[in-house]
Structure formats: C-alpha cells, structure tokens
Structure 1
Amino acid sequence: MKSLLCLLLLPLSLHAGRFPEKTPDSPGARMLDGYMRQQTAEIEEAGGLKDIQTVEDWQRKAPEYRKQLAEMLGLEPMPERTPLQATKTGELKGDGYVIEKMHFQAVPGYYVTANLYLPDKVEKPLPTILYVCGHAVVEKDGVRLGNKTGYHHHGIWFARHGYACLIIDTVQLGEIRGEHHGTYSKGRWWWMSRGYTPAGLEAWASIRALDYLETRPEVDKTRFGVTGRSGGGAYSWWVAALDERIKAAAPTAGVTTMRNHVVDGCIEGHCDCMFYVNTYRWDYDRMVALVVPRPLLICNTDKDDIFPIDGVFNIYQNVRRIYSLLGQEKNIGLQIAEGPHKDLQPLNTGAFHWFECHLKGADPMAVLDEGAKKSLQPEVLKVFTELPKDEKNTTIDQTFVAKAAPPTPPANAESWDKQRQSWMQSLTEKVFAGWPQTSTAVPLTKDNSLENEGLQMTAYDFNPDSSFRLRLHLVHRAGLRAEDLELVALNVLDQDGWQDFQKTYGSKFASLFEGPRAEQSDEAALASEKKMFQAFKWGMAYVCPRGIGPTEWIGSVKAQTQRLRRFYLLGQTLDSMRVWDVRCAIQGLKQIPGMDKTPLWLQAHRDMAVHGVYASLYEDGITRLDLHDVPTSHEQSPTYLNVLKVLDVPQAIAMAASKTRVILYSADDAAWAYPNATAKNLQWSNKQWQIRKPVN
C-alpha cells in the first residue's frame, strides 16, 4: 500500500519569502515599479475608509459597498437558490461527538463535500460554526480526500464544546478537483474578462452552507459564526461581509493591504481565490469593515510572509475606527501569535475564546480546558465512494459568471443608439474604470528630428500617467511640414510590429530609437516606404503602448504572470491600460501644430487592433480603422476586466463602425456576423464597413 500523502495546511501557491522575484533592470521595469507604487497610493487614498468620518457616512455607504463587493465576486445579482440536494453518505462516532459525511449542490452540478460535527447528545439548538478551509492537499493513492480532512481537529473541538460545526471543502481541494489557479499558473486570463473569480464561488458555497444549516433542527440559526485560516480566512471575510446571518467572525490569516500585495509582492503567494475582481478599486480594509458592527476577531501570526503583520495591523486600526464611530469598539479584537503561516494552537485558542464569548455569552476571563488536536485518519472522512457523473466542479469557471447574452442586431437607428449608449456606459463604469480620471489631453513633447534619404522622422514623448513615458515617431517626406500632410496613419505596434519598425527605419534614424536595437535591417521595406512617401503627402506615426518596445519589461514566465496579476488587483489589466495609451497617442498627434484637422487613420494587428477599436470609441476625429489578424473574442484576447459581461469583440467593432470607417482584414466572414448584420440593417455604405481578404 502506498503511504498516505498529507501536505497539510500549506498554501499551494506559497512563494519563498515576501519579496517578488528579482528581474533584470530596464527603463520599462523601473517605470512599471513606479506605476504600481503610484496606483497603490491612489487606492490607499480613495479606495479605503478615509471618506467615512461619521455614523451617517457609514450608514449611507455600507449598503452600496456590500452591493459592490457582491458584484466584484460575481454575485450581483445573486445566483438562484436552487435545491441543495443535501445528501448524507455516512456517519462516524467519536469521543463526545458525531460526524456526518455529506454533500450539497451550491448550484446544480457543483458538489460541495462536507463534514458536519455535532455533540453526541443535542438537547436544544446549538450555536453553529461554518468552518471554511485553507489550502491543504490531502490525498491517498491518488484519491482526493478533501481539505476538510486537514482541519478536522477544529470540528471536533467545536462539537465537544457544545457547537454544531460544518466544515466544507473548497472547489480546488475538495474530493472533486476544480481550479483556483486560473491566472496564477493556468493562463486563464479570460477569467478577468469574464469577471470570474473563484473567491465568488467559495463565497456562494459558504452562503449555501448557511442555507443548509438553517434546515437542521440541531442548529440555532440566530447564532452563526464563521472561521477558517489562510484561504479559509479569506472566505470567512467574504461570507461575513455579504451575509448578515453571521453573528461573529474570526478569520485567520486571510487578508492584508493592497500595498503588501502589489508593492511588497505578497500577491505571488496567493491564487485567485484570495481576490475579488477589483472593479471599484478598493483597498482591503473596506471589505473587512463590512462585518461592522458584528463581533470580529482578526487573527494572524507575526512572521507570516503572505499576510504580513504590518498590513494586518493597518487594516485592524482602520476598521477599529469604524467600530468606534458606531460605539462598538468592544466588538473588534486582534489575536496575534508568534510564528509563521501555519495552523498554530494559539491562533485557534483565540478564535475558540471569541466564539465562547460572543455566541455563548461566556465569561471573557474563563480559561479554555483544551486545544484542538488531530485524532483521525483523513480517509475516514471521505464523502464519496464514487464521484458523481453529473459534476460540474471541474468546469464551473466556465458557467458560474454568465457572459452577456449574444445580442440581436439592431433593427433601426433608434434601437442601435440605445444599445450603443448602454454599452458605452457599462464599458466606462465596469471595464475601463481604472483609467486616469482626467478630462485634459496628454501633452506631447518634441524630442528631436532627423532627415535621411529623403525622409524626415520626428520623435515625440508623452506621459499617459505619472510613471510611464512613451515615444511616438512621425515619418514623412523630407521638406514637408506637419500642416502639409494630407493624411496621418497611426500604427499601434505590438512586439512583432516594433521589431519590423526598427528593421525598416532603425539603421537610418538610430538616435531616435530607445530600447534594444534590431539586429537586422530591412532595406526592401524601407525602399517601399520611401516610394509611398514620394507618391503621397502622407505621414506615418508609430507608437508602442506600455510594456512593448522601448518600455518592455523582461523576466521569467512567472515574473511576467505576476506583473499581469498586479494590474488585476488594481482594478485594471495591462491591456486596458494599453487602450489608454492609444487614446493618449491619438490626442497627442492632434496637438502637433497644423495636424488638428488632418485626417487620421489608425491601423494595427492582433491585440493592438482591438485596443485601437476601443480607443476609437472614446476619441473623435479618427477617419478610418484598418484592422488585421483580429481576435474574434475576448475569450482569446485581449483581456479587459468584466468585458464579456458587457459585449465581445464583434459588437465593439460594430460600435466603432458606427463612428468611423472600418476595414477588417479577415478570411472568416462568419466570425463577424454581428457587424455584418448591423451594417445591413442600418444601411451603412460599403465604405463604412468592409471585410477584405488578408494582406499577404
């Protein structure tokens, strides 16, 4: 027989220390570091509790905050409370307690495996603890036993001390393997576009667990408490904040500040279940405060690398102020134990004492008679003998948060205007809310200009925010002034486009290029460009959004992944901020003297083409879009928060085509059925919307 493998109570994604991976230094990396610090400071200023100064402030804001949290967890509106189909599969008796092995369905097909701990004699309804589990991997012979088995000692303690206690498995570490690591290591960036986080799934499982407990005669549904550690600490926050049936909470090692996560690198120690989709750009004290005024004990150790004590104490102090405003400071506590990120007895004792006082009314000076000790083999707590064939745990991320329903093409201009306005409002409020809140155009600064072989190139710089500096190159026939140009085409470059641009112009205008140089020159491409400029009074502008070309940041796959996840915590994505960069480049071009009335085209490939589409929705004066190799859905790329809850790429292109001429180069007409039908129904001209065969 194979030995029992129990990697208990260790977070699956725990990194080696608090600090982010060291990556090669570069201008782009320094800009990115400054940007993360600046954005964190913005959230600290506006996304926490500083605007709550009176009782009235809190009473007015708290319902709005609770609704926003539900939305950011994918729970607004709340899913339907479908039948739980609760099923008991076995029972185990111990010294003073009984354990029921059972499961329920939080949504049809999503099985939550659980153990219910009860005293062996129940004479009246009991105070009841919902225990939500952290990341404990428990397997035997390749069979999942569930992380509930790693925390069984908590359930036994509660049952032997007069409580009912339900310990529930998480989707990733239950008996049926789901997923928490979508963006952490699985490349499922569409989770962000979908507005999905497993944190919402765990919150919903916890809410449904309370629904189940209310059906049990042994349970006093007026005395619910919740606790759990690490991941379970986070889920304790979610359910306590959302569901006021929770009367006392003792989350353990489940929260810290945005600064710890983004600047200090703690995000690298956490999978996606720890984070809501931060649409409203919150810091974490705002979420914690939603437990106010109910009894709340914040538990942590002093040497926890992924929930550092400085951040935990900062949150405690900020939330304690709200308790004090409401005259309820007695209801908040802080339990700090010496040690690392582990399931330590002093932490457990603090939580036990808290519930004794706040769910039973025990004397605060009373001494607990014993701690929680492991006494069972994990396999005896297993719920299933055979996994259900209709389970959806393994694919629940694809359905839990619904995409926007495929829209019907508009029948007339009136219905189109209404639809378009609705989409624009949602894009502004839910997808691109992380953009800088400024109404002034970003200034463009001329760096230098050179002439060579009958061409003139001018380099301009602009700052789309206080941390990044981007460069825009403008090329045209030598001897022409900007006001002489009859057309300017803005080329939005990805990394491949930047390499091609360097190969074409880099050898002739090297001093105007920043960043690594291309190793080769493409003389044939340059000759073709020169021929075009000789024939037409055109200008070609080129820009790389942040993280590309001159501002590229490099490093391992892990380092690049964690950078993308930092944007997510800040209520942005790298892609959404690249749309902002394109907007700023458009604004900058129009500030060049003599170019405010010059027709402007925008052309781009791949993800940059989609960025150009969305930028065109917010910027006026774009005469034409040329779009090449366009992804057909945000399920592929690019990634913007919540966008699939609003629309998809074909609808965005239709919106763009209602403002400006759009030429899409594609061999797949079927993928663009929506803009095709919209153009037909609204009788757009053939010039306004065209699909052409790809250019070789």
Structure 2
Amino acid sequence: MKSLLLLLLPLTVYAGRFPEKTPDSPGARMLDSYMQQQTEDMEKNGGLKDITTAQDWLAKAPVYRTQLAEMLGLEPMPLKSPLQATKTSEVKGDGYLIENMHYQAVPGLYVTANFYLPTQVENPLPTILYVCGHASVMKGSVSYGNKTSYHHHGIWFARHGYACLIIDTVQLGEIRGEHHGTYSKGRWWWMSRGYTPAGLEAWAGIRALDYLETRPEVDKTRFGITGRSGGGAYSWWIAALDERIKAAAPTAGVTTMRNHVVDGCIEGHCDCMFQVNTYRWDYDRLVALVAPRPLLICNTDKDDIFPIDGVFNIYQNVRRIYSLLGQEKNIGLQVAEGPHKDLQPLNNGAFHWFERHLKGADPMAVLDEGAKKSLEPEVLQVFKELPKDEKNTRIDESFVPAAAAPAPITTKIEWETQKAAWMKSLQEKVFVNWPQEAPALTLASAGITTRDGVSLTAYDFQTDSAFRLRLYIAHREGLRAEDLELVALNVLDAHGWQDFTATYGARFGKLIEGPSTAVKDDSAFESEKKMFQSFKWGMAYVCPRGIGPTEWQGSEKAQTQRLRRFYLAGQTLDSMRVWDVRRTVQILKKVPGFSKTPLWLQGHREMAANALYASLFEEGITRLDLHDLPTSHRQGPAYLNVLKFLDIPQAATLAAERTRVILYSPDPAPWDYANITIKNLGWEEKQWQIRKPAN
C-alpha cells in the first residue's frame, strides 16, 4: 500500500474557506458590492420565500424540476441508449458479494461501478445508489476510481440486507475525465455551451437506476441515494429529477449561494457542484425538490466548504416546505462534530435513516456496527485495459448539443422566422439576467481638459446599482458637441486601455483614473490630433467593468474565481460587459449636443463581440467596426447558453440588418454564413464589408 496514492479531496485542493484577499481598489469594492446585491436578489427571488401554501409548492415544483433539468443540460433528456452493462469480475467477502462492472450512460461514456449484494438473497432488496465524492485513488498511472475509497459503505449495506451500487464519477473514475473546466482549465466555453459536469453526473445516476431496475435482486420500489461531498451534491441532482428515489441522505454536498458567492466557498468547488444558473436559484429550491420524500441532510459543524450556517439555513427553509405538505416527519438534520471528512457519525446517521425509511425499522433501534475499510483498491478494479472507444475524456464536447451550424438563409420569410427565434433565445436564455431595474442614467461631469489642440471631457455614470463607469470624449479644441459630424465609441479591453493611457494619460492625467503601465506614446497622440484636425469627429472611450478605472487585481486564480461568481449569479462577466456597452450607448445620447449625432461603435478582440451583441439591443448605431472579432464563442467571449442557439457569425448577420458592419479579418471564410445570407437577401453591399486588418 505504500506505493498507492490515496487522496481524499474535499472537491479540489483548497487551502481555506475564504477567498484570496483582493488588493483594495474602487473596482474591487464595486465588485464586492455587486456580488452582495446579486446574492440578496437570489435569496429573495430564487429560493422558497414565495411558497406560502402546499398548493403553491405543488404548482411550482414541476416547473422547477424542468428548469433544473435545463440548467443541468438535460432538457430534453438524452436518449436512453442501451446500457451495455458488463460484469468483469467478482469478489466474495464475509457476508457479501461484489460484482465489478460497467455500463454506458451514453454510448462511449463508461461508468465503472461496484455492485454489492448480501451472500444470500431470497427476496428483492431495498437498494442504495451510492454516488462518490472526490477521492483520487491511483497507483502510478492507474486509476482505481473513487468508488474504491467508499467501498466500506457498500460492504455495510450488503451485510445489512441491501443491494448497493457505488458508481465512479467522470473526473476520478478509472477513465479520468474532467470536472475542472472553469476551475482551472480555462474552458470558459462550458458556460457558452450550457455544459456542467453536474448534469453528466446526474445522468450517470439516472441511468444507474435504469440498470438497477433490471436486476432481480433489487426492489425497485425502495431506492435510496447517498454520497458525500461531491456525491452529496449528485444525490440532490438525482433525487430532485428522478422520483424513483424514495429516501435520500446527502452528506456535505450543499450550502447557500451566500456562502459560495460572498464568503468565497466557490473556491473550494469544481464545476460539478453547480448548475448553469439561468434561473438564478439559491440552493434551498434544489433541496426542496426532494419533498415530500424522506430527506436527511448530513453535515459536520466545522466543514470549511459546506459551512454549517448555510446548511442550517437550507434545512430551515426546506423544513418549512415539508411542514406545508404535512410531512415534517420526513425531513431530518444530522450534524456531527468535525471537518470535511468521511466520518463515522455521519455514516451512521445515513444508515439509520435508510433502516427507518426503506425497511420500516424501529426509530429507536441501535446500529450494531459502523462501516470499516477492509479491501485493497486493486480487487475492485473494473478494467484491466481501458476501452479504446471511451468518450469520458472528451464528453464535454458532445454531452450538451450545440446548435447545428445553420445553412445560409435564402428567403426573407425564413430570415424573419430565424431572427425572431435567435433574438428570443438571447433575451430569455443568454442575457436574461441583465438588470430588471437599473439606476436612472445621469451624467456626472468629471472635468474637461484641453492640451495641444485636443479637448478631453470625462463623465461618470451608473451602469447598474454597483458599478460606476467613466466615459471619455475627445475632439478638436474649439468644436462644440453639436458641431461634430459623428462620434465613435471605442469599447476598450485591457490592451485598449493601455493604448488609451499611453496616448492621453501624460497630457490629461488628472482626468484618467485607473491602473496603467503604459509608456507615453507621442506618435499615437499626434495621429489622433491629425485626425481631429482633418475631420469633425469625436472619439469616445469606455472601459466596461473590470477594466481600467474599475479593474480588480490579484492572482490568476483569484481572477478565475471572480469569473465563476458571475456564473453562479446566472451571468458571465462578458454578458454584463455587453450591458455596460448598452448603457454607454444610452448615456452618449444624453451628452448635450449628441442626441442626433451619428454613432459608430468600435471594439477589438472580445470587446468587438461585446459591442456586436450590444448593437442588437440598441437603436441608432450607424456603423460597427469590429477588429479581430472571434469567429466562435469557443474562443470567447463566454455568455451563458449562447452556443445552444447561435454563434458569432449568426450574431454578425443579425447586426448587419440593423447597421453597417465593417469586419477587419484576414480570412473571410469563417464568415461565409453572413456573406452568403446577406447576398441571398439582397441587402446593400455597404451593410456588410470584410476588410484586411491595417497591421
């Protein structure tokens, strides 16, 4: 055993409950305030506060269950393909028998498992589906699956008259897939795809129940589910979606959105813990979907990543639903002393719960023994050689279907239908969580300075209740706003902010707030000055949240976890940057003299995409200049669910109907959808142009 690497991970390697301290800055304070506000809104509108009667719950629970399936990537449910269940070996123990086996949740997605039975089975048995937490069990390069770390649970159940199927997770099974897409792998396209491994694990559990129903040893009217940590979370997903589960005892698998978003517990959890939170749920709504079936919530009192205050809050809220349904006897809370560990008192609580609710045992009965580890991982191995057709390692590419690449539109009727469908999806599934009520748009002058024939004016405005942005407008000295023939709004990313501060910072420093390492660029300023002398143009500049004046700093890990907080709020950072662009377009029209001035919108890289999408929701944009626009949301920016419906080339086509689009791209091929559709529909040539980049 000395050469065997056994890591019992809470969920990921995690140093503590609280997030890394962010260097204090205006942007960091705005971000903290914003996340506090978002959490309060989810507590108010995404939980159970609006449920006041049993009838309320009975009416809304089916809707919530459908929403949950959608947020897990399971609406519609995948096709139930043949399981191809296969037994590979058998282990005989003292009073129990183990079958090492696998099944395919979808073709090529192998779920490795151990099926525990009593030595003698005379009648169909109550049956436990045990879903594993994050325990990595390896020897060299061989993974034995996290199922082996929890084998003592299976043995206990088999010795006490149950059948028990323990299934591996995708991340830490014998075929090691991935749970850490946004946590550490930079797979932000998971958000755009509407993919979460939580849905994958839920589906593997649902298919496990399908398999168990085929076994003669199993009483399919008495299914229970349990598991700890990640397995605790999967217990809720599966029990909420599949009412074949008759009793549940999830352990250390849930806490409140406040704990995750405000207190920083998200940093201890990989992606399998979270739905794509389109409907902005708090977690008590998920837990309540087990009602009125027997539910025991198990946790320790010193758990850093599932804090007891959040667990108790959820218990109290869900207990109220059970009470409304007249089933308060069916909900329990088991708290043991200790940290985030697989502790015997918690195990005994779950065992006692199933004895009562699946066997009808005396509630006062005393369990004769706890669960003790006794087996080497090697005896529980399913595969001696991994199957070559496995999809476990790349299942994120296919589990949630992306929208098929559409053929170019050929008729106006077809276009109108498709346009309406795309815009509806963007409004209801992608940008649905933009603010419903935003502060009044009020310009606050931050000053005006003139240098070397150029005037720069700064204005501040609220884009939402937390973020205050600064808008800069530059033009030739002496020109009034109403004299300008156009104003071009430049949406700056971090690179653009450095260029802006290099051009203007040294001359207009008091107006220009925010961190910058840029070196003064006289040639860039002279180029701007020459443009202003030649044309009656105004150039406007804005940094959406998190850039320039509102930048928040910290390590790469800290920045990653901030992005994930937006995800839990049913948003992404870039979807909120699209909102910021929209608000800037609106505030520009309130600048004195600008109400009728033609407006151009310009962005580079991901900000080009953010500007593009903003143009779909704002009127009066006469031209879009898009530089280095990503060809797909696979590269960015990330918006929730967008790839279920359309990709950037289709969005560009939508924009071209509304305004003139100039795309600066070295290769026209990725834009064939727009090229052909626009030609087929007979739009004016100037509406859509692809130009070679200047550099």
TM-score norm. by structure 2 comes to 0.99
Aligned to 1:92: 91
Q: Which residue of 2 aligns with 1:516?
A: 515
Q: Distance in 1 between matches of 2:140 and 2:460?
A: 61
1:205 match: 204
CA distance in 2, matches of 1:469, 1:549: 12
Q: Does 1:598 align with 2:577?
A: no
Are 1:157 and 2:152 counterparts? no
Distance in 2 separating the partners of 1:565 and 1:516: 24
Shift of 1:674: 0.7
Q: Cα offset for 1:413?
A: 1.5
Residues 170, 176 of structure 2: 8 Å contact kept: yes
Aligned-pair CA distance for 1:335: 0.2
Query: Structure 1 stretch 477-486 or stretch 381-390: which is displaced more?
Result: 477-486
Q: Aligned-pair distance for 1:569?
A: 0.8
Q: Does structure 1 conserve the Cα–Cα contact (< 8 Å) formed by 2:11 and 2:229?
A: no
Shift of residue 684, structure 1, vs aligned partner? 1.2
**Contact kept? 1:170, 1:202, Cα under 8 Å:** yes
TM-score normalised by L of structure 1: 0.99
Contact 1:441 1:588 in 2 (8 A): no
**Structure 1: how far apart are the matches of 2:628 and 2:278?**
29
Please name the residue that 1:176 is paired with.
175
Return the alpha-carbon distance in structure 2 between the equivalents of residues 252 and 244 of structure 1.
19
Q: Where does residue 660 of structure 1 map in the other structure?
A: 659
Describe the SS at the equivalent of 2:546: coil
Alpha-carbon distance in 1 for matches of 2:335, 2:13: 21
In 1, the alpha carbon distance for the partners of 2:518 and 2:86 equals 66
8 Å Cα contact 1:441/1:587 also seen in 2: no
Q: Which amino acid aligns with 1:612?
A: A
Instruction: Give the match for residue 144 of structure 1.
Output: 143
Q: CA deviation at 1:439?
A: 7.3
Q: Are 2:626 and 1:634 aligned?
A: no
TM alignment of 1:550-569, pairs within 5 A: 550-569=549-568
Q: How does 1:522-671 map to 2 (within 5 A)?
A: 522-671=521-670
- Give 1:669 shift: 0.8
Output the CA distance in 2 between the equivalents of 1:10 and 1:340.
12
Counterpart of 1:6? 6
2: CA distance between counterparts of 1:78 and 1:454?
Answer: 64
Which has the higher mean CA deviation after the structures are superposed, 476-485 or 326-335?
Answer: 476-485
* Counterpart code for 1:64: V
Moved more, 308-317 or 477-486: 477-486
1:108-136 per-residue CA deviation (whole Å, 9 max, x = no partner) reads: 00000000000111111100000000001
Write the deviation string for residues 455-504 of structure 1: whole angstroms up to 9, x where unpaired: 21110111111111110001111222222211010000011111111111
Q: 1:323·1:332 contact (CA, 8 Å) conserved in 2?
A: yes
Q: Please list the CA deviations of residues 87-128 of structure 1 after superposition, one character each: whole Å capped at 9, or x if unmatched.
A: 001111111111001000000000000000001111111000
Q: CA deviation at 1:4?
A: 1.9
Query: Aligned residue for 2:491?
Result: 492
Q: Cα offset for 1:527? A: 1.4
Q: Does 1:282 align with 2:297?
A: no
Letter aligned with residue 122 of structure 2: E
Is contact 1:14–1:306 with CA below 8 Å preserved after alignment? no
What amino acid does structure 2 have at the position aligned with 1:451? T
Q: SS of the residue aligned with 2:137?
A: strand
Q: What is the alpha-carbon distance in structure 2 between the residues aligned to residue 507 and residue 3 of structure 1?
A: 61
Question: How far off its partner does 1:582 sit?
Answer: 0.4
CA change 1:519–1:425 in 2 (3 A) is closer
The residue number in structure 2 matching 1:196 is 195
Between 1:349-358 and 1:32-41, the stretch displaced more is 32-41
Write out per-residue CA displacement over residues 538-560 of structure 1, whole angstroms, 9 at most, x where no aligned residue: 11100000111111111111111
Q: Note the C-alpha offset of 1:375.
A: 0.9
Amino acid at match of 2:385: E
**Residue in 2 that maps onto 1:310:** 309
Q: Distance in 1 between matches of 2:426 and 2:440?
A: 20
Give 1:141 deviation, angstroms: 3.0
Structure 1: distance between partners of 2:658 and 2:612: 11
Q: How does 1:86-485 map to 2 (within 5 A)?
A: 86-438=85-437, 442-485=441-484
For residues 100 and 258 of structure 2, the distance between their equivalents in structure 1, rounded to whole angstroms, comes to 41
Q: Which aligned runs of 4 or more in structure 1 are off by greater than 6 angstroms?
A: none
**Equivalent-residue separation in structure 2 for 1:352 and 1:659 (angstroms):** 63
For residue 5 of structure 1, report the CA deviation from its aligned partner: 1.9
Please state whether the residue corresponding to 1:193 is helix, strand or coil: helix
Matched residue of 1:312: which SS?
helix
| Counterpart contact for 1:304–1:339, Cα < 8 Å | yes
User: For residues 693 and 14 of structure 1, what CA distance do their matches in structure 2 show?
Assistant: 46
Indicate conservation of the 8 Å contact 1:441/1:584, yes or no: no
User: Any idea what the Cα deviations from partners look like across 1:605-657, whole Å, max 9, x if unmatched?
Assistant: 00000000000000000000000011100001111111110110100000000
Q: Describe the SS at the equivalent of 1:618.
A: coil
Instruction: Give, in angstroms, the shift of residue 520 of structure 1.
Output: 2.0
Instruction: Find the residue that maps to 2:434 and give its secondary structure.
Output: coil
The alpha-carbon deviation at position 441 of structure 1 amounts to: 6.0
SS in structure 1 of the partner of residue 528 of structure 2 = helix
Q: Distance in 2 between matches of 1:233 and 1:411?
A: 51
SS of the aligned residue for 2:510 comes to helix
Within 1, Cα distance between the matches of 2:174 and 2:691? 51
Deviation at 1:16, TM superposition (A): 1.5
Where 2:227 maps in the other structure, the secondary structure is strand
Q: Which amino acid aligns with 1:5?
A: L
Q: Deviation at 1:443?
A: 2.6
Tell me, yes or no, if the aligned pair for 2:147 and 2:167 is still in contact at 8 Å: yes
CA distance in 1, matches of 2:210, 2:266: 32
Match for 1:326: what amino acid? L
Q: Which residue of 2 aligns with 1:46?
A: 45
Q: Deviations over 1:543-597 (max 9, x none)?
A: 0001111111111111111111111111111111110100010000011122111
Q: Residue 107 of structure 1: SS of its match in structure 2?
A: coil
Code of the residue aligned with 2:218 in structure 1: it is: V
Q: Distance in 2 between matches of 1:142 and 1:412?
A: 57
- Mapped to 2, the partners of 1:281 and 1:442 lie a distance apart of 26
Q: Residue type matched to 1:383 in 2?
A: V
What is the one-letter code of the residue matched to 2:641?
N
* Alpha carbons 1:10, 1:342 under 8 Å: kept: no
CA contact (8 A) 2:499 2:518 kept: no
Which amino acid in 2 is paired with 1:304?
D
CA distance in 2, matches of 1:584, 1:492: 12
SS in 2 for 1:170: coil
SS at match of 1:456: strand
Give the aligned length. Answer: 695
Q: What secondary structure, in the 3-state scheme, does the structure 2 residue paired with 1:114 have?
A: strand
Q: Distance in 1 between matches of 2:439 and 2:595?
A: 15
Give unmatched runs, 5+ long, in structure 1. none
Contact 1:506 1:518 in 2 (8 A): no
Q: Take 2:279 and 2:645, find their aligned partners in 1: how far apart are those partners? A: 16
Greater Cα offset, 408-417 or 540-549: 408-417
- The runs of 5 or more residues in structure 2 that have no matched partner are none
Separation in 2, partners of 1:441, 1:388:
60
Query: Match for residue 64 of structure 1?
Result: 63
The one-letter amino acid paired with 2:60 is K
**What is the CA-CA distance between 1:518 and the residue it aligns to?**
4.6
Q: Could you tell me which amino acid in structure 2 is paired with residue 6 of structure 1?
A: L
Equivalent residue letter for 1:473: Y
- SS of residue paired to 1:687: helix
Structure 1 residue 223, shift from structure 2 partner: 0.4
The Cα offsets for residues 329-381 of structure 1, whole Å up to 9 and x where unpaired, read as 11000000000000000000000000000001111011111111111111100
Give the deviation of 1:440 after TM superposition.
7.6
Identical aligned residues as a percent: 78
Letter in 2 for 1:482: A
Q: Please give the alpha-carbon distance, in whole angstroms, between the structure 1 residues aligned to 2:481 and 2:58.
A: 57
User: Over aligned residue pairs, what C-alpha RMSD do you find?
Assistant: 1.1
